[in-house]
Structure 1
Amino acid sequence: MTDFHAAGGVRPQFHGPVQDMRPLVLKGLVLTLVTLGVYRFWYQTNIRRFLWGRTEIDGDALEYTGRGMELFLGFLIALAVLIPLNVLIALLSFSGDPFVQVAVQLVYTFGLLFLVQYALYRARRYRLSRTLWRGVRLGQTGSGWTYAGLSFGWGLLTLVTLGLAYPFMRASLERYKVNHTWFGDQQGRFTATGGELFRKGVLFWLLLALLVVAPAAALIGFAASEAQSAVDMGRAGWLTILFFVAAAPLAFTLITIYQAVEFRWWANGLHVGPASAQSDLSAFAFLKTYLGFALATLLFSIATAILFAIVGAALGGTAALRQSGTPALVFTGITYLSTLLGYAALWQLYVVRPLWKKGFESVTLAGLGSLVAAQSPDQPANAFGEGVADALDFGAGF
């Protein structure tokens, strides 16, 4: 393995402490709530500008030039396309023929899954075309329909193989995306393989399968025994449920460790022209982040419960609120929305920001000098794909 530090490798740095991001998140979420969701396009844009602009590579920060209005217009265009389609599907589903109804539902479900993948690919193109480093724009070519077809086919194969085909699906889709990614006139290249990820992840798959199959098989075997009484069956059922509950933390740990392993595999396969990357992300990096979020969420939940209990008591208690009609509805609505707002803020501050920081700062980049002469031949892409993703409630992410 190449010694990237010895070869003059560069580590990105993220200069975005949580206290700097907190006002941006709180303002964005409150305005999103007040405007009934309309402001979320500008909020999402501001978050991206914060993350991009605080990420420094070899002394120069990334730049995000997207605008909230672009996302909003893309969303409206997507709605103009999707609403008539949904109306048509709804009308066809009212047909009295059961065969037609089933066929319409299947077409709608599979068509929606296909369209989601198309939209996510186009959304990635939009984000890349709004990202610059040292004045050079990133870009993405390729076909969203081709990517959607690949994703749909691999998804079916992964489902049939109970997840064993997932590493090969991941490698195939990443290869298509990265090989159609550009930094100016320098083309991306993805060299990691599905076989590598399979070898790294098969143990995780086996352990997770064991957590699911073992208690289920034990319960089925117990039920097959005619000698067991109803009381014994009830106890077996409760023991199975308790096992699944106790196994949940272990499954969560395995999944988060696997995410870190997969990220390292993905980053080590990235190349842009002669430049390449190597990650040394800790296997427990993501686990620590999610545990921190869980702790923050627990503390917030306790504080919120105490606060609203005090306010409720000051307003006359639960019985008085139930009899008050409209004030009770207002109090319940404020409680629900405030809590939801708090959880969303905690997610941005204690998951999105630290994962972005850990991901970038774990990578060493070699060969950046060869990218200095890169040019930006492509024009920025439109936001239609991201609008579709948002209209379908599949946020394009960051």
Structure 2
Amino acid sequence: MTAWNADQGETGVRPSFQGSAGEMFPIVFKGLALTVLTLGVYRFWYLTNVRRFLWNRVEVGGDYLEYTGRGVELFIGFLIALAVVIPLYGVIFFLSFLLGPIGTIVFQNVATVAIIFLAQFALFRARRYRLTRTIWRGVRFQQTGSGLAYAAKSLGWAILVILTLGLVYPWMRASLERYKMTNTWYGDQQGAFSSTGGQLFKRGFLLWLLCVVVIVGPIAVLAALEMRTPGAAQASPAHAALFVLFLLLPVVFAVYLAIEYRWWANGCSIGPAAASCDLGLFQFFKVYAGYFGVVLLFSMAVGAVGGLIAYLLHANGVLQATEPGPAQYAVMAGGVLVYFVIALAFAALWQLFGVRPIWRKSFESVEIFGLPALMAAQSQAPVANAFGEGIADAIDFGGF
């Protein structure tokens, strides 16, 4: 549909993102600091504020997206989810204890499957919550469909992915994305997904092959050599290959994310509007490289300051005392405080130089055709609750 529209001379609309790192910094700094001070409770409001910053600065066709979610909704959804998740963990633990070692093994596997199923259910419902809190030109997005059906599809596909060493992953992605998009609505306009698993397989096969060769090969060789001659020097080539693996994986991962995003965006449409994506292969890699560069500079600065402080403490005999005293306790307390400050700084750097530029590139690499016809959509979507997002947060599967 997109190619046809372009061939007919239709002018596409390219979204833009107006948020700078300087504008985002106060939101991130305040949110992370209050999250620590409130022992994690404020993170629901912090997440909401970050989303509002990202959503509300995306301009499409002269109008901005609007995020209407509230932190209290996420907090209540989390509390309700805990009432479901904690008893589930309790039952699994009790049964495994009651049945002994064999029961422990069985129920650990059952628990793993149950958590995967619950996570996929939660992610589907969380997506529904975010869509129903997203408005453009006064019309609300919506998601229909069954979270249980989506979770069952995800679990079945996950088993096939494991059995085929990832070969069927593209078809899993296509199937799940098709289910999500056909259940996505903008007012009374239904979404659709036209990209296929075969298309993604062709674009990502070389990366998959590289990962299998680089990962499975060296590990198998290394294991075989270690079994034959433990600690032998001839295992060094396999060790070298593993070192190369750690260097290649971030590049491969970032490139694949760009391939998959472009494949996904080119397949998405809602009503008469369809997308065309021209994201470059290394655009996400540039973001990750920039983020790690900032982290490296920050780490060097922290190391230099820390080294200077350690030298001064040592020169004044604080670190040489045999018995702990007030000075030593103060140093220990200061060390704990510095640890939390550094952790907050790393989290803030990721939001500013990771999440924000990826969000911007994701939108600005897309051109939308048929947008004027979509403007006739009528809003008729009910608002969803945050229960699914609460479950996702309770089992640590949350996200933007």
What is the TM-score when the length of structure 1 is the normalising length?
0.94
Partner residue of 1:191?
A: 194
Q: Could you give the per-residue CA deviations for residues 139-194 of structure 1, whole angstroms, max 9, x where no partner exists?
A: 00000000000000100100110000100000000000011000000000000000
Q: Could you give the per-residue CA deviations for residues 279-311 of structure 1, whole angstroms, max 9, x where no partner exists?
A: 000111011000001111111111112223333
Partner residue of 1:103?
A: 106
Partner residue of 1:380?
A: 383
Distance 1:165 1:114 in 2: 19
Distance 2:206 2:259 in 1: 12
Conserved? CA contact 1:64–1:131, under 8 Å: yes
AA at the equivalent of 1:359: S
Distance 2:156 2:144 in 1: 21
Q: Could you give the per-residue CA deviations for residues 189-244 of structure 1, whole angstroms, max 9, x where no partner exists?
A: 0000001101111111111111123323544565687xxx76xx522233322321
Pair 1:370-2:373 in alignment: yes
Distance 1:158 1:387 in 2: 27
Q: For structure 1, which segment, 16-25 or 237-246, has the greater mean C-alpha deviation from structure 2 after superposition?
A: 237-246
Partner residue of 1:285?
A: 283
Partner residue of 2:95?
A: 92
Partner residue of 1:164?
A: 167
Pair 1:268-2:263 in alignment: no
Partner residue of 1:76?
A: 79
What secondary structure does 2:232 align onto? helix
237, 243, 246: which is aligned to 1:245?
A: 243
Conserved? CA contact 1:4–1:278, under 8 Å: no
Conserved? CA contact 2:222–2:239, under 8 Å: no
In the superposition, relative to structure 1, how do residues 216 and 102 fare at CA in structure 2: closer, same or farther (>3 Å)?
Answer: closer
Partner residue of 1:14?
A: 17
Partner residue of 1:302?
A: 300
What secondary structure does 1:114 align onto? helix
Alpha-carbon shift at residue 104 of structure 1 (Å) = 2.0
AA at the equivalent of 2:242: F
Conserved? CA contact 1:321–1:328, under 8 Å: no
Partner residue of 2:392?
A: 389
Conserved? CA contact 1:201–1:258, under 8 Å: yes
Partner residue of 1:360?
A: 363
Conserved? CA contact 1:322–1:328, under 8 Å: no
Pair 1:57-2:55 in alignment: no
Distance 2:58 2:68 in 1: 14
What secondary structure does 1:23 align onto? helix
Q: For structure 1, which segment, 129-138 or 300-309, has the greater mean C-alpha deviation from structure 2 after superposition?
A: 300-309
What secondary structure does 2:269 align onto? strand
Q: Could you give the per-residue CA deviations for residues 92-147 of structure 1, whole angstroms, max 9, x where no partner exists?
A: 22114333322322221111110000000000000000000000000000000000
Distance 1:73 1:120 in 2: 17
Pairing 1:146-161 to 2, within 5 Å after superposition: 146-161=149-164
Distance 1:237 1:104 in 2: 38
Alpha-carbon shift at residue 274 of structure 1 (Å) = 1.0
What secondary structure does 1:95 align onto? helix
Pair 1:259-2:262 in alignment: no
AA at the equivalent of 2:345: G
Alpha-carbon shift at residue 22 of structure 1 (Å) = 1.1
AA at the equivalent of 1:240: A
What secondary structure does 1:378 align onto? coil
Q: Could you give the per-residue CA deviations for residues 332-386 of structure 1, whole angstroms, max 9, x where no partner exists?
A: 3112211111110111011100000000000000001111111111111000000
Structure 1 unaligned regions, length at least 5: none
AA at the equivalent of 1:265: W
Conserved? CA contact 1:4–1:365, under 8 Å: no
Conserved? CA contact 1:178–1:190, under 8 Å: yes
Alpha-carbon shift at residue 254 of structure 1 (Å) = 1.8
338, 346, 349: which is aligned to 1:346?
A: 349
Distance 1:240 1:47 in 2: 44
Partner residue of 1:130?
A: 133
In the superposition, relative to structure 1, how do residues 213 and 112 fare at CA in structure 2: closer, same or farther (>3 Å)?
Answer: closer
Distance 2:36 2:6 in 1: 46
Conserved? CA contact 2:225–2:235, under 8 Å: no
CA RMSD of aligned residues (A): 1.9
Alpha-carbon shift at residue 27 of structure 1 (Å) = 0.9
Aligned residues: 392
Conserved? CA contact 2:48–2:70, under 8 Å: yes
What is the TM-score when the length of structure 2 is the normalising length?
0.93
Same amino acid, percent of matched pairs: 50
Conserved? CA contact 1:186–1:374, under 8 Å: yes
AA at the equivalent of 2:258: A
Pair 1:28-2:22 in alignment: no
Structure 2 unaligned regions, length at least 5: none
Q: Could you give the per-residue CA deviations for residues 235-266 of structure 1, whole angstroms, max 9, x where no partner exists?
A: 22333223211232223212211110111000
220, 233, 236: which is aligned to 2:234?
A: 236
Alpha-carbon shift at residue 76 of structure 1 (Å) = 0.7
In the superposition, relative to structure 1, how do residues 223 and 310 fare at CA in structure 2: closer, same or farther (>3 Å)?
Answer: closer
Conserved? CA contact 2:225–2:232, under 8 Å: no
Distance 1:80 1:221 in 2: 48
What secondary structure does 1:164 align onto? coil
Distance 1:321 1:74 in 2: 52
Conserved? CA contact 2:226–2:235, under 8 Å: no
